[in-house]
Structure formats: structure tokens, C-alpha cells
Amino acid sequence: MPTGPAPVLPRVRGPQDLRVLGPDELRRLAEEVRVHLVESVARTGGHLGPNLGVVELTIAVHRVFDSPSDTVVFDTGHQSYVHKLLTGRQDLSTLRTRGGVAGYPSRAESDHDVVENSHASTSLSWADGIARGRALTGEPGRLTVAVVGDGALTGGMAWEALNNIAAAQDRPLVIVVNDNERSYAPTIGGLAHHLSTLRATRGYERFLGWGKQALRRGGTPGRLAYDTLHGVKKGLKDIVAPQGMFEDLGLKYLGPVDGHDLEALERALAAAKDFGGPVIVHALTNKGQGYAPALADAADQFHAVGVIDPVTGAPVPAGGAPKRASWTSVFADEVLEVARERDDVVGVTAAMLIPVGLHKMAEAMPDRVVDVGIAEQHATTSAAGMAFTGLHPVVALYATFLNRAFDQVLLDVALHRAGVTFVLDRAGITGPDGPSHHGMWDMALLQHVPGLRLAAPRDGATLREELREAVAVDDAPTVVRFPKGSAPEDVPALERLGGPQAWGAPDLLARSGARRGGGGADVLVVAVGALAALGLDVGRRLDAQGVSSTVVDPRWVLPVHPALLEACAAHRLVVVVEDGLRTGGVGSRLRDELADAGVRVDVRCVGVPVAFVDHAERAQVLEELGITAQDVARDVLERVAALDGDAGAGAGPAEQVRSQG
């Protein structure tokens, strides 16, 4: 019985194996890689569309350059699955799971992985630094390659790097622009317009046609590279696209090249490699290439998917109870309603219109939603400018990306008392995307911004309520943060401490028993945001052990409300549970304010340690960090027992009051 050719992918254990493959084998390899990606990511979820679009491009890069001797840097890294397959990591069954293959480059996995940070627009700075370092350490023959998307080029940091790269004409550095006209969504702005103009030129066909003729006349690839870049009469500008802003910066430009034509890609990359200075290779690719469901998805072309049917691309429903509305969708509906009621409210996003929930508002009122590209710093200061004119911008970002704009929040928004609301999606522990995507830094960072007010909703109802409270503030920055995933069932409050009309006052969620010896309860559980259900569980566990408790949701963790300080003073022990950094977080701030107010009470802080937390499901990460009802209740019971022991030993009040993180 006749059989087809043997599979190619299993024979590729490293980039060196690519260089012995013939044209037919390379074409089959590309097909096998796409099939493997679809079948694997369909089971685990992950970034599918970006990787389908860079199959030929990644193969060509690894055939022309000698990784890891030559350094290949990916921006932002979510398109590195193909790179992983070609560098010995073909089992993607554990992708983005605890202990499994990371969803971004990981130095722990391979010497071929360099940059683990999955924030966009950083690769050119990395490449500039690596190339400079190679020159200074006497290794100028080792090349540096940065693979950067057109979407990432909308970030200001990329242009800061280009400004420096262009100044070193003798430094071997190749910038491969993966131009698919998209970041998460279609790329916007002047850069997108310029690249579109380059796409429309015929320079690539002229370059490729001339090169094929030279090869037929007996030219070698190396000679072709030399002639391409150094031809006396033709010159670079006559062979490739017309002069553009890249060449105006002093950067040599090759392209545009068909990013799915291996022969064309290799020819362009070989020419760039032999040039000896900084060169841009402009490759045109299709996000989702080779997979019909991705290409048909106009929204994001399967940028990131959950578990899907590999044939149809349809999501596979999870078992169990029906899925609740996501935090993002609750925000999307409410911000649209707010905008309909208030003409001054405008939305601002940094290339994440759908993921952060501003798409509904953009559809209904396109003139009032601004997408600035991958430029969080610009988004923040531009919002301050809009606030100066009387508007109230709502800047929606992933929490981890606000880190990049801290200086602008501090000195452009807060210093100028600008009424800007920041809505931080994916706050706290996010899960499978790993260290650079956990949104656990925001509450600790923002503690240091004078006048800033920060809300942490516990459910969909309080998200809607606190968003409206936030946009009502016109003389200071406000922040509303919530986690990834489905919003929990609404948790009703027993009462609003400080009175029903008290702005920013905490909600009383539960109270059990009375403090031994009279007075309030033994333990005050301050459950921040989405950890309200965990706080209630802690209270029930304490009550079962005969320890009375009160559970409150602070709602607005900044500023600390006087009613929360009063509640703390009425208890023997205060435990603050948060999914942000424990050091410098909400609990630390509360402890400091209690000390300033002269309230002496033991405060224990439960939160995320100052560490880079690995990828896993959110619940798994919280369990590993000890942020579970069982762990918290056990710790509290031990502390209560210690306090009882101190009291029984006759210790004075000063000895009984301890504060620890």
C-alpha cells in the first residue's frame, strides 16, 4: 500500500535541521506546523492567529540566522509558538498550564529564548542593547535580529530605539517588520498609513524579479546580497520600495516582501544579513494564515482563543453551570450607558478596543472613542489634555500595562488634578499568561499618587456603582480595577458603614457573634474587591471555631475611609486580603493610617509576595500563594490564640499590639 512522504516536523530538533531541507520539505513543514498549532492550541487555548501568520517568516529567520549564536528577539512574544516548535519544544500539550510550556519566550525553557517580557514595543531597545554589547565585548560577528509587528511600532519606545539604531551604521542589526496590518485589532495612525503606502508599491516584485534573473545567470546568494545592497547604478532605492521615513532615518529598507513566500523571505534576509549595518526587512503577512475560521474572524482573527473545535474554530462550551457575564462585559454595557447620559465622557484605549470592553461604545459613538495604538504613556497624557478641555476620559487598559504609564499618571494627571478615570481590566492574578501579565502591581504603585482614588468592585453591581462614582470626580484621577474572568454572583451589603450617602465608605457584608468580654467582634476581615466571597468564607470558618468576625468590603481602597478606621478600632485583629502586592499594598496603607490615627490594633496582610509569579490558572496561583479561605482562617486562628496567650500571661496592651505583614 503506497504511503505519503514522512513527516518533516518530527525531524526538526533545532534550527540546524532546517538548513538541510529542500523546497518541497520546507513547504510540507509549514503545512505541518500550522496543523500542529491548530490541533494543540485548540485543546489548551492560547495565541493562535499571530502564530499562524509567522510560520514561513520564522522558518526563514532560523534558516538564514544562526540562533542562539545570532540573537533573535520577538516582540511581543505571543507569536513565538512557531519558534518554540523549531527549537525543540514540539509538545504543546501543556501550553500555558502550571509547570508547562510558557505562552511567551522563556529563558528557563531554551537558550534560543531571550526576552521574556511580553509587553509590546520593547524588542528594538533590546536589540540595540544586545548589538551594542556584542560590539563592545568583541563579538561583532554575532548578529541581532528583532522581529517586530507593525502594531508594536505604534509604541513610542520603538521609535526611541530606532532613533539610536539609525545612528550606528556599522552595527549588524536586522529588524524584521511583521506587517499584518494588526496588533490585536487593525493598526491605526500615521505609521499604518505609511506602511499601507509601501504595500501598494511594486518595489518587491521588481526586487524579486531582478534577483531571480541574477540567480539564473549563475549568481550566488552571497553575491546577490552584495549586488542588491551595493549595486553601483541600481542602488537600494531603485530596487526596493520608494524612499520612505525609514530611509529618512538612515535605515536601509528591503521590501515589502511576501511573508508567506519562503524563497523571497530568505533572499531578503540574506541580503540584510550581509549588509553589515542596520536594515529593515518589511514582510507582509496574514494573521491566521492557512486557517479559514481565523481568516473569517473580522474582529481579531483568533488573536487569542480558549478551547475550540479545531475544525470549525467554534468555542467548546465548558461543563457545569452556565457561564456568567464577564467583568469586561459588565463594564462594556455600563460605560456605554454612562456615555449616553453624559456627553463629556470619552473612551480611550491602547490597541485593545475589544479586550477592555470599549467596542460597544465605539460602535454606538465612534467619534467619542480613541484608539492610540500600543502607547499607554501617550494615552494617559492625552487624556489629561482632554480633561483640560472639559471632557472626562475613561482610559481602559489591562492592569499590567498601566505600569508603563506610571509617570504620566503621577505628573500629568494627578499633579494637574485632571478628572480622568482609569479602568484596569485583568487586575490581580490573571493566570496562564504568566509573570508579565499578572496585574498585581497596580494597587501598590498607585498608593503613591497624591489625590488618586482607587475602587475595587466585588461584583457586577458594585462595578457599575463604582464606575459611576469614579466618573463623577472631576478634580483628581480615579481608578476602577477588576480581575479577569466571569463576574461572581452579586454579594449584597448589610449596610453602608458611615451612612448610606457616605462617599467611598465601606460595605458591611457579614457579622457574627460578639467579642469575648463585650464590645465588637474579635476579627475584622477586610476583603478587597473580588475576594469578597473568600472573606465571607473566612468569616464562616472563624464562626465555626467560636471566633467572632466582621467582614467588610472597603469598596474604595483609596482614600482610606474614616468608617473603616473606626471598624478596625473595634476589633482585636484586622486581616486584609488582597490579590495585589502585600508589600506596600492596601493592608500596608491601612496599617499606616491606623498608626497615624493612634489606633493600636494588630493588622495582618494577606496578598501577593514581591516576586515574579509563574503561569497557571488563577485559582492555582492563589492556592500556591496561600490566598484561600482555609489558609487565611488557619492563620487568623493561630494569631487569635497567640493574642489570647499574651492576654493570659498578663501582657500589657503595648505587648499585645503587634503589626506584621
Residues 348 and 383 in one domain: yes
Same structural domain for residues 255 and 399?
no
Residue 315: inside a domain: no
Which CATH number fits the domain that encloses residue 405? 3.40.50.970
Model pLDDT for residues 346-375, shown as the tens digit of each residue: 999 998 899 999 999 999 999 999 999 888
What values do phi and psi take at 552, rounded to 5? -130, 150
Residue at 213: amino acid letter: Q
- 254 and 368 together in one domain: no
Could you tell me which of 48, 117, 100 has the C-alpha nearest to residue 79?
48
Residues 87 and 228 in one domain: yes
What's the pLDDT score for residue 74?
Answer: 92
* 283 lies in the same domain as 368: no
Q: Which residues are annotated as a binding site for thiamine diphosphate?
A: 78, 118-120, 151-152, 180, 291, 376
| Residues 207, 58 share a domain | yes
196 and 77 in a common domain: yes
Pairing mode of beta strands 573-581, 523-527: parallel
Q: What sections of 217-326 are H helices per DSSP?
A: 221-230, 235-239, 245-248, 262-275, 292-296
352 shares a domain with 221: no
Both 598 and 625 in one domain: the answer is yes
Taking the C-alpha atoms of residue 364 and residue 343, their distance in angstroms, rounded to an integer, is: 13
- The boundaries of the domain holding residue 412 are 327-481
Q: What is the pLDDT of residues 70-123, one digit of tens each?
A: 999 998 788 889 999 999 999 988 888 888 888 878 888 999 999 887 778 888
> Is the domain of 377 the same as that of 468?
yes
Say how many C-beta atoms besides its own lie within 10 A of residue 88's C-beta.
15
| CATH number, position 609 | 3.40.50.920
Which residue ranges make up the annotated binding site for Mg(2+)? 150, 180
Decide if 97 contacts 616 (C-beta within 8 A).
yes
Give residue 217's pLDDT: 44
In a domain, 494, yes or no: no
Q: Is 552 helix (H, G, I), strand (E, B) or coil?
A: strand
Q: Catalytic amino acids?
A: 287, 376, 404
Backbone dihedral region for residue 348 (phi beyond 0: left; psi -120 to 50: alpha; all else: beta): beta
Same domain for 288 and 348, yes or no, is: no
- What is d(CA 206, CA 195) in angstroms, rounded to the nearest whole number? 18
Helices (H), 276-348: 292-296, 327-341
Count of domains forming the chain: 3
Query: Can you list the residues of the chain whose pLDDT is less than 50?
Result: 1, 183-184, 202, 204-243, 517, 650-661
Q: What are phi and psi of 237, to 5 degrees?
A: -70, -25
Distances from the Cα of 429 to the Cα of 167, 259, 609, angstroms: 41, 36, 12
- Known binding site: residues? 78, 118-120, 150-152, 180, 291, 376
